[in-house]
């Protein structure tokens, strides 16, 4: 059914918006794709400014949006391309710190409302940390509204000088399994056999193989699991610059870890997993955590403000960076089927409290209306 265009707050139709995405983690990319589809369905014209690789990964044009290639870098050519793409926009919405900063530069001197969504916060040290704090301040002060995906991010925006900072509703589109045919147990057995986990526990995690996901902690913890009988298998879905380093360590120390490479079937992997692991990502709206709870898979995660708000009491939270705590939590759960069942039940209940896509789009449209409606006649 073709959506009916809704009139813009200016009496024109449709409202013209630009969504700006940098390199984008999985959470922000999925969010922009979902948001774009929802806005287009409600008659809003959407242009997504993002690198080619993000456009390929999230298919913004398939959601009905236009795509303009804008590299992630903040060089003058990139900012100029962004400025040109925003020339006719009624409102611009940037996602992530770097995208927000570049958009603030591109809109300098223009009377176009800027909305910023912060999906996470970089944790770095030294001179780079000082630079990132400067970027935060510039982006927060340039925005008419800052939306933070956690209360901690909202607090950061307020401390940094945001005029208006609010908690964002961010929904994860419900996952769909790639194959619903045939016998479920037969499919499960086949999938576990392909992974080499027929008669042993299967622990699944996913994310880029970089220095920010806690995989060094995970590998440390996996040494303790070699003593278990049967020995669990840790399956890691993802690709990244540290793959070679991790693979060398796995082979050298004979760790029960298998790097699966890039996968587009994380939902199916979780469906056959005994536990899901989030060993160190500081991504507040972790896609893996959300998909695990939806799938009733017990989750063990490194503690952080965003993760606590997301999962509540529906996961085992361990101190960040503590391999010993991660190892013990996994052993306890593997030895306690009743606890795993309880966490699965809690996960489904917790997932039911998360914002829906409809609620997310409604909140964003409400913000857009506030910022684009004409003022009262004098």
Average pLDDT over every residue of 175-191: 66
- The pLDDT of residue 378: 45
Q: Are 202 and 233 in contact, with CB atoms under 8 Å apart?
A: yes
pLDDT at 24 over 70: no
Average pLDDT over every residue of 52-67: 94
Q: Are 257 and 219 in contact, with CB atoms under 8 Å apart?
A: yes
pLDDT, tens digit, for every residue of 267-283? 999 999 999 999 987 67
What's the CA gap between 361 and 171, in Å, rounded?
9
pLDDT, tens digit, for every residue of 319-360? 999 999 999 999 999 999 999 999 999 999 999 999 999 999
Q: Are 168 and 148 in contact, with CB atoms under 8 Å apart?
A: yes
Quick one: tokens of 76? 């003058």
pTM of the model: 0.84
All domains in the chain, ordered by first residue = 16-171+356-372 (3.40.50.2000), 184-351 (3.40.50.2000)
Edge-first strand order for the sheet with 257-261 is 257-261, 233-237, 202-206, 275-278, 299-302, 316-318
- The pLDDT of residue 28: 87
Dihedral of alpha carbons 62, 65, 67, 71, sign: negative
Q: Dump the DSSP string for 222-251.
A: HHHHTTSSSPPEEEEEB--TTHHHHHHHHH
Q: Are 45 and 17 in contact, with CB atoms under 8 Å apart?
A: yes
pLDDT, tens digit, for every residue of 288-322? 999 999 999 999 999 988 899 999 999 999 999 99
**Residue 141 CB burial class (10 angstroms; 0-12, 13-18, ≥19):** middle
The β-bridge partners of 301 are 278, 317
Widest CA span in the chain? 78
Q: Identify the residue with better confidence: 378 or 17.
A: 17
C-beta atoms surrounding 68 within 10 Å: 18
Q: Which are the contacts of 179, defined by CB distance < 8 A and separation ≥ 6?
A: 187, 268
pLDDT, tens digit, for every residue of 124-175? 667 777 888 888 999 999 999 999 999 999 999 999 999 999 999 888 766 5
């Amino acid at each position: 059914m073709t959506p009916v265009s809704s009139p813009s707050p200016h009496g024109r139709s449709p409202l013209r918006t630009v969504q700006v995405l940098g390199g984008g983690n999985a959470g922000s990319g999925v969010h922009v794709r979902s948001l774009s589809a929802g806005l287009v369905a409600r008659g809003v014209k959407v242009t997504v400014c993002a690198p080619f690789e993000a456009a390929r990964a999230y298919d913004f044009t398939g959601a009905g949006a236009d795509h303009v290639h804008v590299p992630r870098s903040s060089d003058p050519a990139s900012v100029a391309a962004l400025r040109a793409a925003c020339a006719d926009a009624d409102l611009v919405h940037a996602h992530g710190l770097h995208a927000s900063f570049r958009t603030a530069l591109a809109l300098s001197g223009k009377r176009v409302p800027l909305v910023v969504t912060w999906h996470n916060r970089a944790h770095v040290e030294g001179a780079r940390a000082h630079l990132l704090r400067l970027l935060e301040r510039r982006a927060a002060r340039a925005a008419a509204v800052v939306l933070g995906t956690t209360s901690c991010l909202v607090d950061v925006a307020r401390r940094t000088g945001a005029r208006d900072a609010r908690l964002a509703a961010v929904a994860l589109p419900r996952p769909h399994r790639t194959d619903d045919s045939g016998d479920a147990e037969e499919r499960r057995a086949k999938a576990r056999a392909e992974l080499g986990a027929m008669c042993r526990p299967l622990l699944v995690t996913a994310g880029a193989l970089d220095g920010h996901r806690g995989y060094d902690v995970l590998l440390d913890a996996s040494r303790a699991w070699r003593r278990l009988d049967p020995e669990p298998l840790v399956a890691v879905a993802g690709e990244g610059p540290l793959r070679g380093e991790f693979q060398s360590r796995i082979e050298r120390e004979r760790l029960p870890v298998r790097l699966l490479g890039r996968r587009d079937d994380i939902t199916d992997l979780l469906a056959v997993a005994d536990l899901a692991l989030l060993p160190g990502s500081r991504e507040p709206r972790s896609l893996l955590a959300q998909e695990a709870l939806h799938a009733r898979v017990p989750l063990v995660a490194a503690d952080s403000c965003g993760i606590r708000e997301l999962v509540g009491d529906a996961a085992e939270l361990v101190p960040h960076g503590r391999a010993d705590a991660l190892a013990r939590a996994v052993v306890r759960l593997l030895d306690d089927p009743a606890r795993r069942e309880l966490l699965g039940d809690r996960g489904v209940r917790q997932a039911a409290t998360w914002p829906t896509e409809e609620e997310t789009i409604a909140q964003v449209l409400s913000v857009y209306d506030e910022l684009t409606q004409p003022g009262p006649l004098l």
